[in-house]
Amino acid sequence: MASRSYTEQTIKQLFGSAAGRCAFSSCRRKLIYPATEQSSTTIVGDIAHIVAFSSEGPRANSAVSDKDRNSFENLLLLCAACHRLVDGQPADYPDEVLRAMKKEHLDWVDRNLENEMSDIKFPELEVVCSRLISSELADSTALHSLPPRDKINLNDLGPSSAKKITMGLMQAPLVAEYLQSMVTHVDPDFPPRLIAGFRHEYDRHRSTGIKGDGLFLLMESFAAGTAADFERHAAGLAVLAHLFQVCDIFETAS
């Protein structure tokens, strides 16, 4: 019998794309509570299936393979109460309603990120970058701008990823200014250490065969961290988009 289990990448994609919140539009409760001095990070959300995991479950469809049932596309992040509701009343929440709910929630996340993007400043970038830097230096420290559209096409990124990159690049001058200030006043190796942190995460996922939008979503989740905080998420996306543009994170033309 198939196992109700999910890959690390699928879980990160799900929580990251949903901004760690319940996808039910009348709820949208935060589902991740950051660690405190006394306690570890606590997750109170449920991973719900759009098409049921089991052949007897709500919205069951025997034509869907076990692998596809546990895929990101078939999963929805909900709080426990909303999960119980959609599974308890499947006639009111068929699969097409849940798919529409997921799309609407992802669009809502994008709108909130865009709203927050214009408000991020050095303090938000500092919180994000201090968590991402590596103790090692990137092999190549030279930063060379590449046309974003060419790089998007080369990496098979679709409209959703392209939209996120465009959104993040709104703050590219601020990110560049922040990195230069770190070089001047704090650590001359700060940019290559930051690049090394991103490159290590990129190579780790790329080695498993993930690419395209799935890989970009994993990198976005890595940049944003676990907090269901749009301000921090926007700052992480700005850093990721800047590095996508100016260095060899993601594939570049040879």
Which residues lie across from 45 on neighbouring strands?
A: 79
Q: Dihedral of the CA atoms 197, 203, 208, 214 (nearest 10)?
A: 70
Residue type, 217: L
Whole-model pTM?
A: 0.85
Looking at residue 71, its pLDDT comes to: 93
Looking at residue 1, its pLDDT comes to: 45
Beta strands in the chain (DSSP E): 32-33, 42-43, 45-49, 75-79
In DSSP notation, 105-163 reads HHHHHHHHHHHHHTT--HHHHHHHHHHH--SSPPS--------HHHHHHHTT--HHHHH
Looking at residue 253, its pLDDT comes to: 62
Q: Is the pLDDT assigned to residue 22 strictly greater than 90?
A: yes
As given in the structure block, the two tokens for residue 56 are 């007897």
Looking at residue 141, its pLDDT comes to: 45
Question: How distant, in Å, are the alpha carbons of 45, 62, 128, 148, 219 from that of 125?
Answer: 27, 47, 5, 22, 16
Looking at residue 8, its pLDDT comes to: 87
Residue 52: closest CA among 91, 83, 101, 87: 87
Looking at residue 6, its pLDDT comes to: 87
pLDDT, tens digit (0-9, with 9 covering 90-100), for 149-159: 888 988 899 99
> What is the phi-psi region of residue 34: left when phi exceeds 0, alpha when psi lies from -120 to 50, beta otherwise?
beta
Residues with Cβ within 8 Å of 189's Cβ and at least 6 positions away in sequence, in order, are: 137
Looking at residue 139, its pLDDT comes to: 59
DSSP, res 30 = B
